[in-house]
């Protein structure tokens, strides 16, 4: 067993919207990703999705509101709710997702990174 230094792990991530796995617990992956620009509208039919901003700020667009998350804040998108993450500037985000959850949920888009390609760092 060893600790995980999130700052060191974020330094290993080169691209945006490319989640990397840092831990596994209770059937879920703990992932890190850098966000910048706009992601795709999507939903997860059976899974909630947890976002925590480690550095920077993101907006999570919902069809009826915008949730703004600043450094140190988190939000859970309930299963079935369509959402679109957006980051004007680079943001570092920690996510919890069930192991089998596809990054873009109910669809495949050019930004989709298959689960098998979301490598451990």
Indicate the Cα dihedral angle 98, 99, 103, 105, nearest 10°.
Answer: -60
Residue written as tokens 């069809």? 63
Instruction: Report pLDDT for 104.
Output: 62
Residues 39-66: tens digit of each pLDDT? 999 998 999 999 999 999 999 999 999 9
Q: What are the residues whose beta carbons fall under 8 Å from the beta carbon of 95, sequence distance 6 or more?
A: 19, 30, 31, 32, 33, 49, 50, 51, 52
CATH number of 6-117: 2.60.120.10
Instruction: Compute the C-alpha angle 9/74/38, nearest 5°.
Output: 75
pTM of the model: 0.90
Q: Decide if pLDDT at 1 tops 90.
A: no
d(Cα 95, Cα 22) in Å, to the nearest integer? Answer: 10
Of 24-38, 64-78, 93-107, give the lowest mean pLDDT range: 93-107
> Tokens for 76?
């859970």
Where does the pLDDT of residue 100 fall: very low under 50, low under 70, confident under 90, or very high at 90 and above? confident
């Amino acid at each position: 067993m060893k600790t995980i230094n999130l700052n060191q792990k974020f330094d290993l991530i080169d691209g945006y919207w490319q989640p990397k796995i840092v831990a596994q617990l209770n059937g879920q992956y703990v992932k890190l990703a850098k966000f910048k620009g706009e992601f795709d509208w999507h939903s997860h039919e059976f899974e909630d999705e947890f976002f925590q901003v480690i550095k920077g700020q993101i907006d999570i667009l919902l069809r009826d509101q915008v949730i703004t998350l600043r450094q140190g804040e988190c939000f859970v998108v309930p299963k079935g709710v369509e959402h679109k993450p957006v980051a004007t500037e680079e943001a570092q985000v920690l996510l919890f997702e069930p192991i089998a959850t596809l990054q873009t949920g109910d669809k495949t888009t050019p930004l989709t990174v298959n689960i098998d390609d979301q490598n451990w760092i």
